[in-house]
Amino acid sequence: MKEFRYLRLESGKTVSEIQADCPHFLIWNLRGNLSEHDRDLFDHPNRWESGCVTYAFGLLGKEYARSWMTIRDWVKAWNSFKATSKQMVKLE
């Protein structure tokens, strides 16, 4: 999301150009599931009222029918799990 936002606002690329240059972005799958209104908002990051991360949590919340705070907690738990797993590998 942050790289998309940068490419859209700072580089001035269109959504089509970004999609052609970065087809590996996972956000394209999510964007395809958005309503027309949400897709239009997604395509214009300068209209995102909240920060990039909070906006992303909100989109994922709509996708999974959960609040953005639940999504945030899932992400925190996943990041904690990854950090713990890395520490365990280092100890072995």
Locate tokens 């606002």: which residue?
Answer: 9
53: three-class secondary structure by DSSP = helix
What is the arithmetic mean of pLDDT over 62-91? Answer: 82
Structural domain for 37, as ranges? 2-91
- Prediction pTM value: 0.61
Q: Is 45 exposed, middle or buried (0-12, 13-18, 19+ CB in 10 A)?
A: middle
Number of domains in the chain: 1
Q: Are 16 and 24 in contact (CB under 8 A)?
A: no
pLDDT tens column, 8-32: 888 889 999 999 999 999 889 888 8
Read off φ and ψ for residue 10, nearest 5 degrees. -80, -40
| 40 Cβ neighbours under 8 A, 6+ residues apart | none
